[in-house]
Homo-oligomer: A and B are copies of this chain.
Amino acid sequence: MILLYEAWLNQTAIRQEFSDETFAFKQMDLKPGDAVTLRLREEITEWLHRPVLADDHQATIVFALAPDNFATTEAFQIVQAAGQTTITAQGPAGLIYGFYALIRQRLTGTKQVTLASAPDQALRMIDHWDQIDGSIERGYAGASIFFGAPDHLSNPDKGDFAVLPVKGDPFRHDRNRMVRYARLLASVGINAISLNNVNVRDQGTNLITEPYLDGVKEIADIFRGFGIQIYLAINWESPIHIGHLATSDPLDTKVEAFWQQICDGIYQVIPDFGGFVVKADSEGEPGPYQYGRTHAEGANMLAQAIAPHHGLIIWRAFVYNSHQDWRDRSTDRAKAAYENFEGLDGQFADNVILQIKFGPIDFQTAEPLQPLFGKLQHTNQMMEFELAAEYLGHQIDVNYAVPQWSHMINFETQHANFADSRAGEVIKAGSIKPQNSGFAAVGNVGMTPFWTGNPLALANLYGYGRLCWGNRLQPDDILNEWLQLTFGVAKAQTRRKIFDILSSSNQTYRNYTAPLGVGFMVVPHYHYGVSVNGYEYDKWGTYHFADRNGVGVDRTQKTGTGFTAMYAPQVAAMFEELATTPVELALFFHHIRYDQVLPNHKTLIQTIYDTHFDGFDMTTKYMDDWATLQADLPADLFQEVQNCLERQNENALEWRDQVNTYFYRMSGIADEQGRQIYR
């Protein structure tokens, strides 16, 4: 039985692969405080169980510093020559990344003799939405690995986020779990994590103060060795809740002094603390708007307080009116981030980063790129993803989302002022300091035995990290890497079948859920399962406007909300016309009659029916295919995935039938192929 899943770092296989190797550090003194080098030595001797020799000529694998050969401290080179493998880097971080890269090379059987590698994105971050009681907002993998009593699995699969008051120490102190998690992260190049939910409430607000900082320090001490910096999400109203001030106005000198004092206190305990993540003026959270201040004024005040310590302020751009009226068709939530932040370009301090969700809505199955990317030219930026799978099947339904993320990262924004206009590039080029830019993603792990709800969901954590490092890596290649590492002992045919499931899973999920980019047809609050009208008459601004004639949101300039105009001209023109809009975004940009023929040469209604029948059929195929793998996989892993696939199949059936029936009742148009659609 698997007690704690090793994920893609199978110790037995790795030890075997390196069983003849010896290691050495060439002319490297171990300096006090060099936590990464210390950890790297420990990884070799304790985790890999191989010796570190004093004489580097004797060793088969040698680490060496080469201060002048690399653009960043994280880049590395692996050279194999004359029976010796040399890993060189500017600093320890590069060496440890080289170490895991070598493992990956060996375990995946890559034949390259020389590998030179540098990360595409400077900041490669996981944002945990963990809460002080051990629950996780939008968590579907059990309790937090950072907070909560050892045996307490708070809301393991509900994704609810009512926080219970905690008496005494809220930290879990599960050192073993944290070390293994840090190793997983470092092995794919993650270099930053934020510990707590961006909705910071009650006791969570106090994490930035003693005695809670001692618990944060314990975590920071573990992750530091793996090159990972710790961030905390803060409550904008901390000056009121903690400082007992009457205001959190960013221009108030008492508020400034409060934050300086907080920062001083944190850095005294954690000298390499990363900084703050801030959700302000968003979905009911407080923010600078309350005081008539701009978000630049708000963020810059915090930036000034943390600047002496070289910390960062990661400011979320997820700001929109969450009290819209469905009767008013002129408001368009998709425009909100652009409208709130486009005018602030150039006004943020150089240690502020705007963290912007990849799409204009909220991590839906199909969204266009957020139009701020490429428009911002003087603002540090991060693109935000969500591994958690809030809208992608809650880690029950299999959904390898890397293809969607890769598509977003490599989307051509067509902004003329950038040499390379792909989203992943304009993020850097449009930042004041490219080292203060990158990617962030809401995390997906918890205290479940397999780290994630569905064990296959770990491919998203792996893939996200790899994609941060190499923006042009192909999703299928990443998937094959992960499969080779995770299921290296299984038959090639087994990996092939799992590949077939995962590589098609993102499209499959998109097929049986909300059609063609219209989004948000989910059960309110939980966001799992179908509810076609669940958000149709609500305040969150997420509508499909279905009537007896058609469905979709007209976001064109000609006749709609004008959202398309926020893109560069070529992209705007593409989305403006149905003929050139990708079919999977058809209903995101256009309100379309059911009998209208789409660029795929089918009517809209037939496209809805077809995708939904196809999507469900694929989930049945996944179950059948998985069932054939039983003999070749660990029993509990096999079972866990099988359970998930069965639940997915039920879920897909409801989606298929409810969506099809809903639109059949609306349109009165029968399926061309005569398949069963319930009245």
Residues of A within 8 A of B (CB): 326-327, 329, 530-533, 537, 545-549, 654, 657-658, 661, 664-668, 678-679
Contact = CB atoms under 8 A, between A and B. Distances in A.
Contacts of A657: 327
A548 B668 contact: yes
A329 B679 contact: yes
A668 B327 contact: no
A548 B665 contact: yes
A329 B530 CA distance: 20
11 contacts: A327-B657, A327-B661, A531-B537, A533-B533, A537-B661, A545-B679, A547-B665, A547-B668, A548-B667, A548-B668, A665-B666
A160 B388 CA distance: 28
A105 to B, nearest CB: 51
A549 B668 contact: yes
B658 A547 contact: no
A547 B327 contact: no
Contacts of A661: 327, 537
A288 to B, nearest CB: 30
A658 B539 CA distance: 13
A52 B59 CA distance: 109
Contacts of A679: 329, 545, 547
Nearest to A545: B679
A537 B329 contact: no
Contacts of A667: 548
Contacts of A678: 326-327
B666 A548 contact: yes
A329 B678 CA distance: 9
A628 B298 CA distance: 47
Contacts of A548: 548, 665-668
A149 to B, nearest CB: 16
Nearest to A537: B658
A356 B549 CA distance: 44
A219 to B, nearest CB: 31
A326 B665 CA distance: 14
A665 B546 contact: yes
A549 B661 CA distance: 14
Contacts of A533: 531-533
A76 to B, nearest CB: 53
Nearest to A668: B548
Nearest to A664: B547
A584 B661 CA distance: 28
Contacts of A664: 547
Nearest to A328: B678
A531 B531 CA distance: 11
A531 B532 CA distance: 12
Nearest to A551: B665
A545 B329 CA distance: 27
Nearest to A547: B665
A678 B543 CA distance: 14
Contacts of A531: 533, 537
Given A326-B678, A327-B678, 20 more contacts: A327-B657, A327-B661, A329-B679, A530-B537, A531-B537, A532-B533, A532-B537, A537-B654, A545-B679, A546-B665, A547-B664, A547-B665, A547-B666, A547-B668, A547-B679, A548-B548, A548-B666, A548-B667, A549-B668, A666-B666
**Leading 10 A-B pairs by shortest Cβ distance:** A547-B665, A533-B533, A548-B548, A327-B678, A537-B658, A548-B668, A548-B666, A327-B657, A548-B665, A532-B533
A537 B326 CA distance: 22
Contacts of A329: 679
Nearest to A532: B533
